[in-house]
Amino acid sequence: MTEADEHKRAVGFAAVDRYVRSGTCVGLGTGSTARWAVERVGERVARGENIVVVATSAATERQCRELGIPLAALGEREIDVAIDGADEVAADWSLTKGGGGAHFREKAVALAARAFVVIVTAEKLVEKLGAFPTPVEVVPFTLAVVTRAIEIAYPGARVQQRLSRDGTPFVTDNGNALVDCAFGAIDDPAALDAALREIHGVVATGLFPGPLTAAVLVAGGGEVRELLRIASR
**Rounded Cα–Cα distance for residues 121 and 220 (Å):** 6
Q: What is 3-125+210-222's CATH number, 3.10.129.10, 3.40.630.30, 3.40.50.1000, 3.40.50.1360?
A: 3.40.50.1360
Q: Based on C-alpha coordinates, what's the Rg of the chain?
A: 17
Q: Where are the domains of the chain?
A: 3-125+210-222, 134-205
The pLDDT value recorded for residue 228 is 83
106 a catalytic residue: yes
Supply the angle between the helices 34-46 and 3-19 in degrees, to the nearest 10.
Answer: 50
pLDDT, tens only, 58-68 = 999 999 999 99
Average pLDDT over residues 11-30: 97
Number of Cβ within a 10 Å radius of residue 50: 12
CATH architecture, domain 134-205: 2-Layer Sandwich (3.30)
pLDDT, tens only, 132-182 = 999 999 999 999 999 999 999 999 999 999 999 999 999 999 999 999 999
In terms of C-beta density within 10 A (0-12 exposed, 13-18 middle, 19 or more buried), how is residue 112 classed? middle
**Rounded Cα–Cα distance for residues 143 and 179 (Å):** 8
Residues 6+ apart with CB under 8 A from 50: 22, 23
Of 66, 106, 127, 223, which residue is the catalytic one?
A: 106
In terms of C-beta density within 10 A (0-12 exposed, 13-18 middle, 19 or more buried), how is residue 107 classed? buried
